[in-house]
Structure 1
Amino acid sequence: HDTKARFQTFREAVKKDVCGRAAKVQKEIEFVLAHEEVANIFSDLQEKGELPLRVTHNDTKLNNIMIDNRTGKGICVIDLDTVMPGLAMNDFGDSIRFGASTAAEDEQDLSKVSCSMELFEIYVKGFLEGCAGRLTPREVELLPMGAKVMTFECGMRFLTDYLEGDHYFKIHREEHNLDRCRTQFKLVEDMERKWDTMQQIVKKYQ
């Protein structure tokens, strides 16, 4: 999850515009460009030595947890090929992006898309309890930013793939990646509206 590098890849995709699709997605392109600071924040903090590398999963979606059908309890984490050094905030953020959204990742009706503060709070509580004091105060403080960064990064990747001809993410309909991109950007906007609440929730369990 090198969001800074992903941003540069996106800019190249816009510049080359190999499929001639950039003109019809100017709103989405402008959204990414306006959020360059979000793309850079964790890389910049790492360079300053403020963020430690952790062993991270890097694809912390709910469907990468094996759950017992009878008890409803988690058994283990799966899909371990993505495990590598990374940032705790990114693992947290990817979970929120996927698990606290009120709609499917490819929902076309954006009025259904928001970041549930109820689910966000449940996950913050469980995540911090699971980490059992191992995170630094700076890492905990940046958990909301992790949610925003990972959601933004994913939307940017969907948009990049759309501009490049849908060669990475599997699609099942025309403009599928564009629909995915729009849900992620809607989530980012919703997080920005609820930013104070997200920070207050984290402080509650810090």
Structure 2
Amino acid sequence: MRAITEQQKQEAIAAFAYEGTLIADTVYGSGHINDTFRLTFAVGNMGDLDVILQRMNADAFPHPEQLMENIAGVTGFLKKKIIARGGDPERETLNIIPTVDNKPYYRDTNGDYWRSYRFITGASSFDQVETPQQFYESAVAFGSFQRLLADYPAETLHETIPGFHDTRARFAAFEKAVREDVVGRAAEVQKEIAFFLERKETACYFAGRLDRGELPIRVTHNDTKLNNVMLDDKTGKGVCVIDLDTVMPGLAMNDFGDAIRYGASTAAEDERDLSEVSCSMELFSLFTKGFLEGCGGSLTPEETALLPMGAKVMTYECGMRFLMDYLQGDRYFKIHRDGQNLDRARTQLTLVADMERKMQQMQDIVRKAAG
């Protein structure tokens, strides 16, 4: 992506149906995909109004029109549900600010795509879990997201990243990367390669059930990290699920599993001391309780029973992707030091092995939480 010029940003600002006078313009957030700005407008006697302006990353999302069609459809549906239950649609879902010609995005003269949202006031997001309660509240929010969208026609959504959680296809790509060994790293990581190759049944676990029509396709978020939930500054409760770029058809178990993979680990994603890495059963139990509460009975009994497997499959998939990227010369995941993707792969395989040891315990926790 090219660097943004001031002229380009001013062109984008002028394209949206903002009110008032622009009085502040700052870079916002910690995301690595899109370019995000927080704009403040003075609106007469009404005070100041904050909005988010983003340039979408066309390298990560090559069809921004389809992406915004997904987001407009889902947020419009959520608003109706939120109003019906007496909630606040201004805070509990993203609100798209249209362009002056009433479109959900703007394409500038450089060919870049922009969008804008109302800023959610009185709430914050966190990159790391600081308290168990935060993890629990994020679980309730992601579960509620599932429940509110349970009757949304998932088949009408575009795949913004085709095959994003097709673990079976990821396994085939991994095998290819091992065979090709384009940068000559395979010899040094034979143990790690073997770990993933020996677990082909994990890669195919959900795909086989999908082939047989045993699992429902749902609207899924596909990036269920804590920082994609806004938590109320006063109550600490989840207010709004954000970053809907990867909302598309998927499996509820994958949304649950990705949150566990990242949030219930006892160590950083690139921890070198693997003795520090495990899946916390305390955090697993807390998230399970919150997620199922949020889902409010919208999952099938089989989906609920497969939640622990979702944690294993997502952790396995992510670890395999880290190792594949290492074998291909670190082309996809950003690294800040040599070997970082290998370290990431090792933490994930350590988590997978720990989950295998604790699978019965995880299943018991889910059964108890499901009542």
Note the 1:1-206 alignment, pairs <5 A.
Answer: 1-206=165-370
In structure 2, C-alpha distance between the alignment counterparts of 1:161 and 1:56, rounded to whole Å: 25
The Cα of 1:77 is off from its aligned counterpart by: 1.2
The Cα of 1:76 is off from its aligned counterpart by: 1.2
Q: How many residues align?
A: 206
In structure 2, C-alpha distance between the alignment counterparts of 1:71 and 1:163, rounded to whole Å: 45
The Cα of 1:146 is off from its aligned counterpart by: 0.1
Amino acid at match of 1:30: A
Amino acid at match of 1:72: G
Q: TM-score, normalised by structure 1?
A: 0.98
Identity of aligned residues (%): 71
Residue 67 of structure 1 aligns to a residue in which SS? strand
In structure 2, C-alpha distance between the alignment counterparts of 1:35 and 1:80, rounded to whole Å: 31
The Cα of 1:113 is off from its aligned counterpart by: 0.5
In structure 1, C-alpha distance between the alignment counterparts of 2:238 and 2:292, rounded to whole Å: 17
In structure 2, C-alpha distance between the alignment counterparts of 1:96 and 1:17, rounded to whole Å: 31
Residue 334 of structure 2 aligns to a residue in which SS? coil
Task: Determine which structure has the larger strand proportion and give its number.
Answer: 2
In structure 1, C-alpha distance between the alignment counterparts of 2:336 and 2:265, rounded to whole Å: 21
The Cα of 1:122 is off from its aligned counterpart by: 0.6
Q: Which runs of 5+ in 1 are unaligned?
A: none
Alpha-carbon spacing, 1:104–1:69, altered in 2? closer, same or farther (3 Å): farther
The Cα offsets for residues 113-148 of structure 1, whole Å up to 9 and x where unpaired, read as 100000000111111111111111110110000000
The Cα of 1:70 is off from its aligned counterpart by: 4.3
In structure 2, C-alpha distance between the alignment counterparts of 1:108 and 1:74, rounded to whole Å: 32
- Higher RCO, Cα 8 Å, sep 6+: 1
The Cα of 1:69 is off from its aligned counterpart by: 4.0
Q: Which moved more, 1:178-187 or 1:71-80?
A: 71-80
Amino acid at match of 1:2: D
Amino acid at match of 1:109: D
Residue 76 of structure 1 aligns to a residue in which SS? strand
The structure that has the greater radius of gyration is: 2
Q: TM-score, normalised by structure 2?
A: 0.55
The Cα offsets for residues 140-197 of structure 1, whole Å up to 9 and x where unpaired, read as 1100000000000000000000001101000000000000000000000111111110
The Cα of 1:96 is off from its aligned counterpart by: 0.3
In structure 1, C-alpha distance between the alignment counterparts of 2:242 and 2:335, rounded to whole Å: 24
In structure 1, C-alpha distance between the alignment counterparts of 2:283 and 2:268, rounded to whole Å: 15
Q: Which runs of 5+ in 2 are unaligned?
A: 1-164
Amino acid at match of 2:290: G
In structure 2, C-alpha distance between the alignment counterparts of 1:17 and 1:65, rounded to whole Å: 39
The Cα of 1:75 is off from its aligned counterpart by: 2.2
The aligned counterpart of 2:162 is: none
Task: Determine which structure has the larger helix proportion and give its number.
Answer: 1
The Cα offsets for residues 32-62 of structure 1, whole Å up to 9 and x where unpaired, read as 0111000001000001111000000001111
Deviation beyond 3 Å, 4+ runs, structure 1:
68-71
